Amino acid sequence: MQNFKENLINAIEKIEKARIAVDRHRIVRLVAVSKYSTTQEIQALYECGQRAFGENKVQDLTQKANTLESLPLEWHFIGNLQSNKINALLKLKPFMFHSLHSLELAKQLQKRLEQEHIYLKTLLQINSAKESTKSGVMPEEAIEIYYQILEECPNVKLCGLMSIGAHSTDCNLIQKSFETTRALFEKLQNFGANTLSMGMSGDFELAIRCGSNCVRLGSTLFK
Ligand SMILES: *Cc1c(COP(=O)(O)O)cnc(C)c1O
């Protein structure tokens, strides 16, 4: 646990280097993915200054957010949301939901949000390398679906896109998948899209060079 401060400083240094090399006016948000970490470890990273944390299971988020209730943390939900978990997620009032994967899920969310008179900031997940193992909308249908959600689901506050880089050891393929998402993001900038969530421990510098302004880092911080 004593390495956390060093891990965080190293990560921030790399993020800063990458972003200043491409666009010094861009701010890059760092979400610490705590899905394999304990509440004690989250607290240790909090004490190093980190505030935004991401979880991929509603049950884990519930348990950790409740345990750490007294800390001013910003929770991000980055996992596959099953419709029977919508109520539990909304109860936690997460800061942002990164992994909206379909119009159907948006409509289910809209129904609940409307009943509660609340809003949820969300990102549309893009399956940028068209992998059967990943969820998200296909790049060619993304714009249409984005518009439909904007129109039909006003309480689902769409504010950008999220994607996981291609599952590959070939940097060119990963880069291509990030560029696909970035091109879509640029088309949506006149429609309120301001967040492009791309990049994990193995590929966040590349993601930033490809336009990301939000990286989700787990293993490199909590090692
Ligand atoms: C686990 C996870 C991450 C973090 O992965 P690391 O490789 O540990 O940095 C980022 N995004 C999503 C969606 C994840 O599920």
Which residues fall within 8 angstroms of residue 202, CB to CB, at 6 or more apart? none
What are the tokens at 142? 């993304």
For the chain, what is the domain count? 1
In a domain? residue 135: yes
Query: 0.75 exceeded by the pTM?
Result: yes
In a domain? residue 127: yes
Which of these, 96, 109, 101, 87, lies nearest to 156 by C-alpha position? 109
> pLDDT at residue 153 above 70?
yes
In a domain? residue 150: yes
In a domain? residue 88: yes
In a domain? residue 223: no
- Per-residue model confidence (pLDDT) at position 104: 98
In a domain? residue 61: yes
- Per-residue model confidence (pLDDT) at position 200: 98
Exposure pattern of 66-94 as b/e (b: 16+ CB <10 Å)? eebeeeebebbbbbbbeeebbeebbebeb
pLDDT tens for 90-125 read 999 999 999 999 999 999 999 999 999 999 999 999
For residue 106, how many C-alpha atoms fall within 13 Å in the half-sphere facing its CB? 27
pLDDT tens for 157-196 read 999 999 999 999 999 999 999 999 999 999 999 999 999 9
> pLDDT at residue 1 above 90?
no
Question: Rounded to whole angstroms, what are the CA distances from 108 to 14, 123, 142, 149, 154?
Answer: 39, 15, 18, 11, 12
Ligand 1: residue of 35, 50, 216, 222 to mutate (most ligand atoms within 8 A of CB) is 216
The enclosing H or E element of 40 equals helix 39-47
Ligand 1 binding residues, C-beta < 6 A? 33, 35, 56, 78, 164, 200-202, 216-220
What CATH number does the domain containing 156 carry? 3.20.20.10
Which ligand 1 atom is at minimum distance from the Cα of 216? Answer: 10
Find the domain containing 167 and state its range.
4-217
Residue nearest to atom 7 of ligand 1 (CA): 201
Mean pLDDT of all residues in 189-211: 97
pLDDT tens for 7-45 read 999 999 999 999 999 999 999 999 999 999 999 999 999
> Cα(138) to centroid of ligand 1, in Å?
20
pLDDT tens for 40-74 read 999 999 999 999 999 999 999 999 999 999 999 99
Ligand 1: residue of 7, 41, 77, 78 to mutate (most ligand atoms within 8 A of CB) is 78
In a domain? residue 26: yes
Which ligand 1 atom is at minimum distance from the Cα of 99? Answer: 13
Distance CA 128, CA 174 (A): 10
In a domain? residue 222: no
- Per-residue model confidence (pLDDT) at position 9: 97
Distance CA 69, CA 19 (A): 33
Whether 208 contacts 22, CB under 8 Å: yes
